[in-house]
Amino acid sequence: MHEMEKQLHDAEIEVEFQDQTEETLYQLVMLGESARDFFDSDVGRYVIGAARMDLEVIDQKLRVVSPWRRRKILKLQMEYKAVQDGIRWIAEVIQQAEDAETQLNQYRE
């Protein structure tokens, strides 16, 4: 994000947009900044670390569960997917924000 945009965001100044497209792109950029800030925060690092540990624990359980325990396998797979999805959603927001920032810069030219 450009420094001026960050200052506007931090100051909570009312920004006028050319149209809805520009506003939507700007909002996506701001959302991505929030996601990056979260990843860089102590809480974010803790959450990501805890998620990785959970994935390791679930993976280990899946390696030793008996193949005929279908419900247990399904439960573990669902838990694994839920943890992965949470991390993926945040990463997707960051990627969408980067794309939106590129589009916003091109839109303003």
3-27: pLDDT as tens digits: 555 555 565 667 777 888 888 888 8
32-81: pLDDT as tens digits: 999 999 989 999 999 999 999 999 999 999 999 999 999 999 999 999 99
- How far is the CA of 74 from the CAs of 53, 54, 60, 63, 84, in angstroms? 19, 16, 14, 13, 15
Three-state DSSP class for residue 77? helix
Q: What share of the chain is helix, strand, coil (3-state, %, to 5)?
A: 85, 0, 15
Is the Cβ–Cβ distance between 22 and 29 less than 8 Å? Answer: no
Give the per-residue pLDDT at 3.
59
Domain boundaries in the chain? 43-109
Give the per-residue pLDDT at 21.
86
Candidate from 44-53, 82-91, 99-108 with smallest mean pLDDT:
99-108
Query: Is 97 or 16 the better-scoring residue by pLDDT?
Result: 97
List all residues 6 or more positions away from 95 whose beta carbon is below 8 Å from its beta carbon. Answer: none
